[in-house]
Amino acid sequence: MRMGYRRRVMHILNGLTLVGGLTILSSGAAFGQDLDPRLYPKYDLTASGALLVLGENIRIDPDSGTGTEIDAEDVLGVSSTSFQPRAAFRWRPGKKHELELSFQRAVRSAERVITRDFAFNDTTFTAGLRVDAGLRTSQMLLTYRYAFRVRPKSQIGFGVGLGAIFLRTELDAVGGVTSGGADTTIVPYSSTRSINAPTGSLGLYGRAQLGEQWYGEADLRGLYVKVDNFKGVVGELGAAVRRFFSDKIAAELGYTLGLYTITLERKASGAGLVGDVSGKIKYDVHGFRGGIAFLF
């Protein structure tokens, strides 16, 4: 009798184990099949226009001594707003991995009679000069994302961003002002400096379905790094909402915030990480964008 009881118990346990195993396998297969293709596309291409709100302080030192910190908007008269194109491409080789390459153009220019003396690079600009200024702060960014929480309608993970700000400042003195106010003929002169400043950041991201046709996403990253003659502090925030018209096309509204402080020290032994240059650049940018996303 005791042996019969044991056989019945073992038979029940084996049956439960088999049912449990089949349930886990079937649920895993269903989970993989149920991943929302709008959250997990193979490729994702976005084209948009962005209203940028910018602030830039620049100091580029001469060969000896320290240059002047210039508020680009206040001293040079460039606008703090600019409408510029943006493009981004995402590739997802697996459900947990994603690479995104994005580019944001940012170019501004202005002409103003300066009201204070300042030293930029190896050139001194004196009050009363009419200065034509051209600024570029375009950015390229490669972001890797790993989703450690994968769900059919959401994902959460960490991200690593590596990129560059393509800085270029060109100042041209094209005229002077007499005490009476009229332009005085001068020999034009200029000073230009270009720096490709590397950036990097680490943080978290999340994406989720918000409604039947609505999806949202957010990124938050930051980093402090000191390498060679380069010191950088980076803070980056991104958020976007998409409204899908089909499984392949969506309208996107997004916001980005970038806060960057870059300090460069001249090395006695020669060029450093970003060349033979010293100075400091503080740059912040708010981006309000609208565009179209194509999934394929």
Residue 27 sits in the same domain as residue 49? no
Confidence of residue 25 (pLDDT cuts 50, 70, 90): very low
Three-state secondary-structure class, residue 15: helix
pTM of the model: 0.83
Q: For residues 281 and 58, give the distance between their C-alpha atoms in angstroms, rounded to a whole number.
A: 5
Residue 96 sits in the same domain as residue 111? yes
- Residue pointed to by tokens 């997990």: 40
Q: Dihedral sign, CA of 230, 236, 242, 247?
A: positive
Residue 2 sits in the same domain as residue 62? no
- Residue pointed to by tokens 């106010």: 181
* Weakest mean pLDDT among 8-22, 152-166, 239-253: 8-22
The whole domain housing 22 covers 1-34
Q: Could you write out the DSSP letters of every residue in 45-60?
A: EEEEEEEEEEEEEEEE
Residue 285 sits in the same domain as residue 238? yes
Residue 21 sits in the same domain as residue 87? no
Residues 6+ apart with CB under 8 A from 235: 201, 221, 222, 257, 258, 259, 260
Residue 27 sits in the same domain as residue 93? no
Copy the structure tokens of residue 145. Answer: 């994302």
Phi and psi dihedrals of 11, rounded to 5? Answer: -65, -45
Residue 163 sits in the same domain as residue 291? yes
Confidence of residue 106 (pLDDT cuts 50, 70, 90): very high
Residue 14 sits in the same domain as residue 116? no
Copy the structure tokens of residue 174. Answer: 């094209």
Q: For residues 251 and 243, give the distance between their C-alpha atoms in angstroms, rounded to a whole number.
A: 5
Say how far residue 139 (Cα) sits from the centre of its chain: 7
Residue 28 sits in the same domain as residue 172? no
pLDDT recorded at residue 26? 38
Residue 17 sits in the same domain as residue 54? no
| Count of domains observed in the chain | 2
N-term to C-term CA, the chain: 65
Residue 167 has pLDDT above 60, yes or no: yes
* Weakest mean pLDDT among 1-5, 169-173, 189-193: 1-5
User: What average pLDDT is seen over the chain?
Assistant: 87
Q: For residues 33 and 27, give the distance between their C-alpha atoms in angstroms, rounded to a whole number.
A: 10
Copy the structure tokens of residue 267. Answer: 């090395």
CATH code where residue 145 lies = 2.40.128.90
Q: Which residue has the higher pLDDT, 3 or 152?
A: 152
pLDDT, average across residues 29-49 = 83
Q: For residues 248 and 46, give the distance between their C-alpha atoms in angstroms, rounded to a whole number.
A: 12
Copy the structure tokens of residue 75. Answer: 């001293």
Residue 124 sits in the same domain as residue 9? no
Residue 152 sits in the same domain as residue 264? yes
